[in-house]
Chain A
Amino acid sequence: MILGDLLDARVRGPGGEHLGTLVDVRLALETLPGDDSSPDYPDREDRALSEQVRRRDRVGRARVVGILVSPRSGAPLLGYERTGVTAPWPVPQLVRRRHRGTFLVPWEDVAAVGPGEVRLAAGYRQEDAALP
C-alpha cells in the first residue's frame, strides 16, 4: 500500500455513508537519543543560524497512527486546521473555517482500502485532529 492510494480517497462509514475526504495520514516517529555528531564550534557565532533553530530528531520506525478525515474535499493549505498557527491573518482562519470538523480515525478502525475509497469499521472512533 502506498500513501498516495490513501490521500484524497473518499471516506465512507460502516454503513456506506459519506463522511468526507482523507486529507492526511498521522504517523508516530520513534525518536532516538541524540548522537550530537556535529563538530565542536569555537563559539556559537560561527554556527549556521539554521543549525541552531531547526528541530531535527534522530528517528527509528514510523508507525501509522490513523487517518485524518475532512468533511470538505481538497487538501487544506498548510494544515492550518491542525496546527495552532494564527498568522498571517486571515489565511489560517479561512482555512480553519473551510475544514472545520476534521477528525482523526485510529488506524485500527479502518476496515478496508479500495481504489479511491476507504471504509471505516463499525464503532469507529473520532478523535481530535490537532497535532500535539
Chain B
Amino acid sequence: MKKLLGVALGILTAIGGFVDIGDLVTNAVVGSRFGLSLVWVVVVGVVGICLFASMSGRVAAVSGRATFEIIRERLGPRAAGANLAASFAINLLTLTAEVGGIALALHLASSVEPRLWIPVAALAVWLVLWRVKFAVMENVAGLLGLLLVGFGVALFLLGPDWGELVRQAVPPSPPATEHVATYWYYAVALFGAAMTPYEVFFFSSGAVEEGWTAKDLAQNRVNVLVGFPLGGLLSVAIAACAAVVLLPAGIEVSSLSQIVLPVAQAGGTLLLAVVIVGIVAATFGAALETALSSGYTLAQYLGWSWGKFRRPARAARFHLTMVVALLLAVGILMTSVDPVTVTEMSVVFSAVALPLTYVPILLVANDPEYMGEHVNGRVTNALGMVYLVIVVVAAVAAVPLMIATGAGS
C-alpha cells in the first residue's frame, strides 16, 4: 500500500509539475487565436519530452554525471562554453517569466499591483531553496499544481460543442484569418513550451545527487510516461477553454485575467480561486526548478561543488549563483516589462536552445564508457534521431519565424 502511494505521489507531482507559465500562456494564446488546430504540436511535444526526460534520466542514473557535466566533458571547453552562455541566458529568461507569473497570479488573487509582488515572490523562492527540505517543496508544489485541473472542470461546465473542437484539431484547420507563418510560429512556441530545457538540467542533477537505484529509475520512467501525457492533457484543456470562450469573442490573450476568464465564466469565484492557487503553485514550482537549473549549469560547467542536498556552506558558489540569477530576474521585471511578453519570448528561445542539450544527451546515451551495457536500444535511437531532426528544424526556424511574423502579431 505504501509503495502504491509512493508511485501515485510520483505520478501526481509529475502531472502537477508539467504546466508552467510558458504552457499556460502559450496554450491560452494559441487557443484564443487558432482554436485546437495546434493540438498536434502538444502531442508531438509531449512524446518528445517523454523521450528526452526518460533518456536523460537513464543517462544521469547510470553514468552518475549530470547533464551539464556531460556537455562540458564531451564537447570540449570552447563549445561547452558557448553552450553555457546560451543555456544560462535562456534559463534566466525562463526564470524571469516564472517569477513574473507568480507575481501576476498573486495580483489576480489580491488587488495588490504585480510590481509589489515581484520582490516578495523572488524572496519566497530563495527562502524555500535555502531552508526547505527538497522533497517537501517538490511534493507540495506538484500536488497543488494539480488544481489546474480546474481548467478541465471549466471546460465541461461550459458545455462546448465537442464536435467542433475535434474538427479544429483533426485534421488541423487553422482559421482563415491567421497567416500561415503565424501558425508555424506558434507551433514552434508551443513545442518550446512543452520541451523546456530546464527540466533536464533539474532532474538529471537530482538523479545524480540522490544516487538513483534501479528502482528509482523505474519510478522515474513511470512518472514521465504516465504523468507527462496527463500534464499535456491539462495544457490542451487550457487551450480548449480559450478556444471555447475567447476565440468566438475575438478576445486576444495579453494578460493572466483573460487566461482565467473561461474558468470564472464556467465555475464562478470558487473555481477561479482553486485555479489561481494552482497557477501560483505551478509557477512557484517551476521558478524553484529554473533557479536551481541556473546554479546547476554554471556550477557543473566550472566544476564547482553543487547540490540542493548539500549544506549551502559546502556549495557556496552554487547558492550564490542562484541568488544572483534571482536578483537579475527581479531586476528585469522591475523595468515594468510585461511578464506575459517575457513568457512568450522564453518559450520561443527554449525551442532555439533545445538542440544544445538534446544532442549531447543523445550522443552520450550511446557511449559505453558512460553507460556500460545500458546504451540506447535501436528503437530509442530511431525515435531519438527522428526527434533530433524535429528539434533542429524547430530551433533553426524559430528566429526567422519570429522576425517574419513580428513575434506572432
Contacts and interface: CB of A to CB of B under 8 A. Distances in A.
Contacts of A45: 213-215
A51 B374 CA distance: 13
Interface in A82-102: 83, 85, 87-89, 91
Nearest to B60: A50
Interface string B47-77: 0000000000000011110000000001010
B385 A54 contact: no
Given A48-B212, A50-B62, A88 B385 contact: yes
Nearest to B368: A85
Nearest to B216: A49
Contacts of A75: 76
Interface centre among B76, B213, B373 (most CB of A within 10 A): B213
> What does DSSP make chain B's interface, helix, strand, loop or mixed?
helix
Contacts of B374: 53
Given A85-B366, A87-B376, A91-B363, A51 B211 contact: yes
B381 interface: yes
A90 B42 CA distance: 29
B367 interface: yes
A56 to B, nearest CB: 10
B160 interface: no
Interface of B: 61-64, 74, 76, 208, 211-217, 362-363, 366-369, 371-376, 381, 384-385
Interface of A: 45-51, 53-55, 75, 78, 83, 85, 87-89, 91
> What does DSSP make chain A's interface, helix, strand, loop or mixed?
loop
Nearest to A86: B366
Contacts of A46: 213
B213 A49 contact: yes
A117 to B, nearest CB: 21
25 contacts: A46-B213, A47-B213, A48-B211, A49-B62, A49-B212, A49-B213, A49-B214, A50-B62, A50-B63, A50-B64, A50-B208, A50-B211, A53-B374, A75-B76, A78-B74, A78-B363, A78-B367, A85-B367, A87-B375, A87-B376, A88-B362, A88-B366, A88-B384, A89-B385, A91-B363
A45 B385 CA distance: 33
B363 A88 contact: yes
B372 A53 contact: yes
Contacts of A54: 63-64, 372
Contact of B213 (A48, A55, A78, A91): A48
A90 B211 CA distance: 33
Contacts of B211: 48, 50-51
A47 B62 CA distance: 11
Contacts of A49: 61-62, 212-214, 216-217
